[in-house]
């Protein structure tokens, strides 16, 4: 039971982190360097999941993927089933829920890059694309990794969104946090305790690695080239 | 960059630029200049907030002028009328910022090769090898910017900027943080490089030593306008305006009125305002309605402990020493002769003349050390 839930949770967390890497980095780049007047609106939307109760977010995702919206109908037509109460639905909900945890550290570290370095790159004939790959990304890498680790850990621990969007189907949508909830409902405190401990240790280890690496002179990842 | 062939020598940078900007004091200035910079070193000299950096930024493309044209030879970088505004990466302008902006995560070698992305590896290595050699940093290629000295960083930044074979080099006070010897060596190498690659080099500084050390010509900028232009000697040794004079380091500037003119001797007599001190100064055509000032460098004044005789100098002034103060290896004496003069002496001079505050001395000032400013 716990192995199945744990595998599913880790699979979910890895997928969410991967998706957030792909959409979070460009979004963070835009937030860090855009001068659009309405940028603050995007910032507010990205940060919403931090303050919004997970049930509210989960409710909207559930409605959005249901048969009443174009998105829901499109997905149904494409795959023959609804996104609601599926693993894919969980991924969608979790991506939205963890978005600020990925984007904010990335945007902060991009914005902290000295503007003169970007000028220098352009003065040396580099395109924006090249400047991004050779200057912005390597120098912002600590923020990118922090964002990934945080969204991974955050996905491990989420509950409300998962319950609203995915329900509680073992093997398909039952994550560790939902399993604990189940076990407590069944008054099986001893099993709940073991399950909870696994999640606690997992999250603690992740964060300890994150902060430990940062303490040792930053992520010494410049050697990657 | 696509400029892999060296360009014909002697291209000129021409800029007619108009741009409003905020000076360092916070007040609004309009930069309005029209200049032509020939190949070789041109010093851009002026106080902070005079618009020097704004001008360089406009040439490099970091700022957009409100109007005007900027061109290198025939190539137009900016023209407000035909709406040309090349992006900075297409300008072939090398701009060395004060902060150098070396990429911290790359080695010296990677930094220098950064601008050569369009070349193949062999050409990249040849090109960067040459320029690293010219600036004597070949041995540092594997180090990171944080692992080398300030002077070496400076050399690497120059190498990185010049390896792309730019058509203009802009330098914004690049050497301010360095000691004199390091600075002089770097400048020697830069000059040697410029002899082989004749491009206009526009060098911003507010250090007058650098003006003389480097410049083939100098431009003085003040509140967004060109105040003087010519050889460093013309601009600074015979300053015609008081702003230039202060920039050029006249420690003594006096308000004066002309009391007599001696065309037969090529001199005139000036009375220092608020005193009965007369100075003999070179004859100048001056506008009597404008205030006249005389500037004298503290280092051009001789100091004697007894009345000197048999001198060619026409101004011998008696006074008393108000104060003596040592700054580094220079003694700064304030001598009251009516108005107070600042005089610079060596430590040895103070010792052998046994100068003390309150002591009587004579100041000797040559006529040609008195610079008439209007």
Helix A176-185 to helix A2-33 angle (10° resolution) is 130
Res. B281: pLDDT tops 70: yes
Closest Cα in chain A, distance from residue B291 (Å): 45
pLDDT of the residue at B364: 93
What are the angstrom distances between the C-alpha of B115 and each of A2, B164, B197?
55, 6, 18
Helix A2-33 to helix A87-111 angle (10° resolution) is 40
Please write the tens of the pLDDT for every residue from B209-218.
677 667 678 8
Q: Which domain holds residue A144?
A: 2-224
Whether B165 and A125 have beta carbons less than 8 Å apart is answered as: no
The sign of the torsion formed by the CA atoms of B243, B244, B245, B251 equals positive
Mean pLDDT confidence for B250-255: 82
Closest Cα in chain A, distance from residue B160 (Å): 8
List B346's β-bridge partners, or say none: B330
Q: Which residues of A touch B101 (CB under 8 A)?
A: 114, 116-117, 119-120
Query: Lowest-pLDDT range, B16-20, B254-258, B288-292?
Result: B288-292
CB-CB under 8 Å, B103 with A126: no
Closest Cα in chain B, distance from residue A152 (Å): 27
Q: How far apart are CA B222 and CA A110, in angstroms?
A: 37
> Residue A17 is part of a domain; what is its CATH number?
1.10.3720.10
Residue B60 contacts A, CB cutoff 8 Å? yes
Res. B289: pLDDT tops 70: no
Distance of CA A24 to the CA centre of its chain: 9
Q: How far apart are CA B256 and CA A214, in angstroms?
A: 67
* CATH architecture assigned to B250-373: Beta Barrel (2.40)
Closest CA relative to residue B363, chosen from B319, B331, B322, B326: B319
Res. B2: pLDDT tops 50: no
Number of Cβ pairs < 8 A linking chain A and chain B: 57
CB-CB under 8 Å, A138 with B117: no
Closest Cα in chain A, distance from residue B136 (Å): 21
pLDDT of the residue at B23: 67
Res. B254: pLDDT tops 90: no
pLDDT of the residue at A221: 46
pLDDT of the residue at B187: 85
pLDDT of the residue at A30: 95
CB-CB under 8 Å, B93 with A124: no
Q: What is the DSSP string of B328-346?
A: TTEEEEEEESSSEEEEEEE
Q: Determine which helix (DSSP H) or strand (DSSP E) holds A31, and give its type and residue range.
A: helix A2-33
Kind of pairing between the strands at B200-205 and B168-172 = parallel
pLDDT of the residue at A212: 81
Q: What is the number of structural domains in chain A?
A: 1
Mean pLDDT confidence for B60-65: 93
Whether B322 and B336 have beta carbons less than 8 Å apart is answered as: yes
Residues 102-121 (B) with a CB less than 8 A from some CB of A: 102-106, 110, 114-115, 117-118
Sequence-distant (≥ 6) Cβ neighbours of residue B14 within 8 angstroms: B35, B36, B37, B69, B70, B71, B72
Residue B8 contacts A, CB cutoff 8 Å? no
Q: What is the DSSP string of A70-127?
A: HHHHHHHHHHSS-STTSHHHHHHHHHHHHHHHHHHHHHHHHHTS-HHHHHHHHHTT--
- Joined together, the tokens standing for residue B185 give 């060596």
Q: Is B167 exposed, middle or buried (0-12, 13-18, 19+ CB in 10 A)?
A: buried
Q: What is the DSSP string of A171-188?
A: TTT--HHHHHHHHHHTT-
Res. B7: pLDDT tops 50: no
Mutate which of A109, A117, A125 to disrupt the B interface (most B C-beta within 10 Å)? A125
Is residue B1 very low, low, confident or very high in pLDDT (cuts 50, 70, 90)? very low
Boundaries of every domain in chain B:
13-92+165-246, 250-373
- Determine what percent of chain B is predicted with pLDDT higher than 70: 90
Closest CA relative to residue A125, chosen from B68, B107, B92, B265: B92
pLDDT of the residue at B149: 92
Closest Cα in chain A, distance from residue B231 (Å): 30
Nearest CA in chain A to B59: A123
Please write the tens of the pLDDT for every residue from B64-109.
999 999 999 889 999 999 999 999 888 999 999 888 899 999 999 9
pLDDT of the residue at B46: 80
Whether B160 and B136 have beta carbons less than 8 Å apart is answered as: no
Q: Determine which helix (DSSP H) or strand (DSSP E) holds B208, and give its type and residue range.
A: helix B208-214
Closest Cα in chain B, distance from residue A100 (Å): 27
CB-CB under 8 Å, B115 with A126: yes
Confidence (pTM): 0.72
Q: For residues A28 and A61, which has the higher predicted lDDT (pLDDT)?
A: A28
Q: Which residues of B touch A124 (CB under 8 A)?
A: 1, 89, 114-115, 160-161, 164
Compute the residue count for chain B. Answer: 374
Q: How far apart are CA A104 and CA A148, in angstroms?
A: 11
When CB atoms are compared, the residue of B97, B103, B164 closest to A135 is: B103
Nearest CA in chain B to A130: B117
Please give the mean pLDDT across all residues of chain B. Answer: 85
CB-CB under 8 Å, A120 with B89: no
Mutate which of B93, B103, B162 to disrupt the A interface (most A C-beta within 10 Å)? B103
CB-CB under 8 Å, B117 with A130: yes
Please write the tens of the pLDDT for every residue from A30-86.
999 998 999 999 999 999 998 999 889 999 988 888 888 888 888 888 888 888 888
pLDDT of the residue at A190: 93
Is residue A159 very low, low, confident or very high in pLDDT (cuts 50, 70, 90)? confident
Mutate which of B97, B105, B117 to disrupt the A interface (most A C-beta within 10 Å)? B105
Helix A87-111 to helix A137-156 angle (10° resolution) is 140
Neighbour count for residue B57 (Cβ, 10 Å): 22
Q: How far apart are CA B360 and CA B337, in angstroms?
A: 10
Coil, helix or strand at residue B287: coil
The 3-state secondary structure of A52-64 reads: CCHHHHHHHHHHH
pLDDT of the residue at A114: 92
CB-CB under 8 Å, A222 with B88: no
When CB atoms are compared, the residue of B95, B106, B164 closest to A125 is: B164
Please write the tens of the pLDDT for every residue from B131-188.
999 999 999 999 999 999 989 999 999 999 999 999 999 998 877 778 778 888 888 8
Instruction: State which fold the B13-92+165-246 domain adopts.
Output: Rossmann fold (3.40.50)
Residue for token digits 């960059």? Answer: B1
Is residue B9 very low, low, confident or very high in pLDDT (cuts 50, 70, 90)? low
Coil, helix or strand at residue B145: helix
Q: How far apart are CA A47 and CA A43, in angstroms?
A: 6
Coil, helix or strand at residue B227: strand
Q: How far apart are CA B225 and CA B215, in angstroms?
A: 20
Residue B334 contacts A, CB cutoff 8 Å? no
Residue B94 contacts A, CB cutoff 8 Å? yes
Closest Cα in chain A, distance from residue B115 (Å): 5
Closest Cα in chain A, distance from residue B100 (Å): 8
């Amino acid at each position: 039971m716990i192995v199945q839930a744990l595998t599913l949770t880790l699979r979910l967390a890895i997928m969410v982190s991967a998706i957030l890497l792909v959409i979070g980095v460009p979004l963070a780049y835009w937030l860090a360097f855009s001068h659009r007047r309405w940028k603050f609106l995007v910032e507010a939307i990205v940060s919403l999941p931090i303050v919004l109760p997970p049930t509210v977010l989960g409710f909207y995702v559930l409605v959005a993927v249901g048969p009443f919206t174009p998105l829901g109908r499109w997905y149904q037509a494409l795959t023959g089933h609804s996104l609601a109460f599926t693993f894919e639905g969980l991924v969608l909900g979790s991506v939205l829920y963890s978005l600020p945890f990925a984007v904010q550290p990335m945007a902060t570290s991009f914005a902290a890059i000295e503007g003169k370095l970007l000028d220098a790159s352009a003065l040396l004939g580099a395109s924006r694309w090249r400047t991004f790959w050779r200057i912005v990304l390597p120098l912002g890498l600590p923020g990118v990794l922090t964002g990934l680790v945080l969204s991974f850990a955050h996905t491990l621990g989420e509950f409300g969104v998962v319950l609203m969007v995915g329900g509680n189907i073992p093997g398909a949508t039952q994550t560790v946090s939902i399993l604990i909830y189940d076990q407590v409902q069944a008054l099986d405190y001893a099993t709940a305790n073991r399950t909870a401990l696994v999640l606690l240790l997992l999250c603690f280890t992740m964060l300890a690695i994150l902060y430990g690496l940062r303490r040792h002179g930053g992520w010494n990842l410049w050697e990657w080239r | 960059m696509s400029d892999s062939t060296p360009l014909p020598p002697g291209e000129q940078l021409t800029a007619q630029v108009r741009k409003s900007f905020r000076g360092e004091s916070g007040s609004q200035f309009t930069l309005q200049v029209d200049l032509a910079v020939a190949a070789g070193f041109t010093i851009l000299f002026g106080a902070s907030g005079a618009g020097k950096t704004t001008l360089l930024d406009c040439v490099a493309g970091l700022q957009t002028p409100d109007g005007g044209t900027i061109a290198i030879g025939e190539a137009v970088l900016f023209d407000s009328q035909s709406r040309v505004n090349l992006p900075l990466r297409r300008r072939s302008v090398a701009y060395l910022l004060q902060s150098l902006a070396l990429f911290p995560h790359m080695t010296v070698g990677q930094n220098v090769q950064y601008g050569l992305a369009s070349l193949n590896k062999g050409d990249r290595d040849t090109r960067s090898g040459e320029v690293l050699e010219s600036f004597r940093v070949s041995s540092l290629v594997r180090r990171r910017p944080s692992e080398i000295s300030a002077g070496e960083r400076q050399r690497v930044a120059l190498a990185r900027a010049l390896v792309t074979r730019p058509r203009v080099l802009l330098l914004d006070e690049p050497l301010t943080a360095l000691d004199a010897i390091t600075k002089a060596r770097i400048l020697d190498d830069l000059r040697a490089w410029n002899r082989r690659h004749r491009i206009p080099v526009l060098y911003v500084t507010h250090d007058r030593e650098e003006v003389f050390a480097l410049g083939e010509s100098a431009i003085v900028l003040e509140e967004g306008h060109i105040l003087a232009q010519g050889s460093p000697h013309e601009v600074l040794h015979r300053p015609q305006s008081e702003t230039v004079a202060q920039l050029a380091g006249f420690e003594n500037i006096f308000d004066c009125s002309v009391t007599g003119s001696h065309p037969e001797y090529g001199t005139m007599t000036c009375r220092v305002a608020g005193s009965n001190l007369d100075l003999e100064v070179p004859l100048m055509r001056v506008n009597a309605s404008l205030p006249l000032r005389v500037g004298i460098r503290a280092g051009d004044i001789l100091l004697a402990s007894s009345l000197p005789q048999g001198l060619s100098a026409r101004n011998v002034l008696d006074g008393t020493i108000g104060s003596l103060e040592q700054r580094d290896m220079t003694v700064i004496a304030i001598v009251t002769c009516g108005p107070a003069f600042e005089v610079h002496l060596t430590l040895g001079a103070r010792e052998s003349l046994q100068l003390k505050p309150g002591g009587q001395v004579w100041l000797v000032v040559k006529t040609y050390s008195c610079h008439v400013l209007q």
